[in-house]
């Protein structure tokens, strides 16, 4: 069974540009989560999508946004890039985001975003 | 979600058992204990989780104390490839989606 996939692996942008990161969840999973891991820092929760809806977002500015498509894949968009947005962006998926025994999150390999 | 406390780093000899402790003294009745690990610059890997009972899978064993205020992750025969940062996370099933990652324990397995 294929795991969570993310693309691209690496992305280089300049300050002020927009970045789009993509995530495909494990087959059968409806929830997708985005996390940011800046160099030397811990993982910070960004966004949670479930059944096409944004369910929760972390303490990030509105220029971080995303969406979830009908096939449950997801995009993370970062507008007006700043140098401090350079980080590893991780996507995770789970069978469901609601209470129950099936919301263990499984992570993808990440997209390394570098802002110059 | 309850806060967790883990040692900053630990060493383990290759082939020996690695026992990683986690304190979660404020855990509530509906909160699970999850363990993930992250090998340098890779995505976190799910290891195991439990609620009250001890759990075992092909990767590790999870021992939860009877009062649920602490737990230990056991890697029975550590290899060099187990060198990673190990995160203990407490979360309720009905939480708002996000896992709260602390700083974790840096486990170094040495030959």
Using alpha carbons only, give the angle A3, A81, B103 rounded to the nearest 5 degrees: 55
Over 70: is that where the pLDDT of A90 sits? yes
Evaluate whether B43 touches A109 at the Cβ level (below 8 Å): yes
Tell me the two tokens of residue A69: 């498509």
**What pLDDT shows up at residue B96?**
67
- Are A109 and B45 in contact (CB < 8 Å)? no
Q: Percentage helix, strand, coil, to 5, in chain A? A: 5, 50, 45
> pLDDT, tens digit, for every residue of A27-54?
999 999 999 999 878 899 999 999 999 9
Q: Model confidence over B37-84: pLDDT tens digits?
A: 999 889 999 999 999 989 999 999 999 999 999 999 999 999 999 999
**Closest-approach residue (CA) in chain A for B85:** A42
Query: Taking CA atoms, what residue in A is nearest to B91?
Result: A104
Q: Which residues of A touch B42 (CB under 8 A)?
A: 109-110
Pick from A39, A105, A106, A108 the residue to mutate for testing the B interface (most B CBs within 10 Å). Answer: A105
B67: its two tokens: 């009062």
Q: Is residue B93 over pLDDT 90?
A: no
| Predicted pLDDT of residue A49 | 93
Q: How far apart are CA A10 and CA A13, in angstroms?
A: 10
Give the DSSP per-residue string, A21-41: EEEEPPTT--EEEEEEE-TTS
Angle ∠(A10,A83,B36) on CA atoms, nearest 5: 55
Of B36, B94, B97, the CB nearest to A33: B97
Residue A102: per-residue pLDDT: 53
Looking up tokens 């324990």 gives: B105
Within 8 A by CB and 6+ apart from B29, the residues are: none
Mean pLDDT estimate for chain B: 92
Average pLDDT in the A82-91 region? 97
Stronger pLDDT, B63 or A101, i.e. the higher one? B63
Asked whether A38 and A97 are in contact (CB, 8 A), the reply is: no
Query: What pLDDT, on a 0 to 100 scale, did the predictor assign at position B2?
Result: 66
Nearest to B5 by CA among B110, B90, B92: B90
Contacts of A98 in chain B (CB under 8 A): 94
Query: CA-to-CA distance for A71 and B26, rounded, in angstroms?
Result: 39
């Amino acid at each position: 069974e294929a795991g969570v996939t993310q693309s691209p692996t690496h992305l280089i942008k300049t300050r002020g540009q927009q970045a789009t990161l993509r995530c495909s969840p494990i087959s059968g999973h409806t929830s997708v989560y985005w996390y940011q891991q800046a160099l030397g820092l811990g993982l910070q929760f960004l966004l949670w999508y479930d059944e096409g809806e944004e369910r929760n977002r972390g303490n990030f500015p509105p220029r971080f946004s995303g969406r979830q498509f009908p096939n449950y894949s997801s995009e993370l968009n970062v507008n007006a890039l700043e140098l401090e947005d350079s980080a590893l962006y991780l996507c995770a998926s789970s069978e469901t985001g609601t209470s129950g025994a099936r919301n263990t999150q499984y992570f993808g390999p990440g997209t390394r975003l570098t802002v110059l | 979600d309850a806060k967790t406390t883990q040692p900053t780093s630990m060493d383990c000899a290759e082939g020996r058992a690695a026992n990683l402790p986690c304190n979660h003294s404020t855990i509530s009745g509906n909160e699970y204990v999850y363990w993930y690990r992250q090998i340098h610059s890779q995505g976190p890997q799910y290891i195991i989780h439990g609620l009250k009972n001890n759990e075992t899978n092909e990767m590790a064993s999870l021992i939860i104390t009877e009062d649920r205020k602490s737990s230990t992750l056991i890697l029975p025969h550590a290899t060099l490839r187990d060198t990673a940062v190990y995160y203990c996370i407490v979360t309720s099933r009905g939480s708002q989606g996000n896992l709260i990652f602390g700083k974790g324990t840096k486990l170094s397995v040495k030959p």
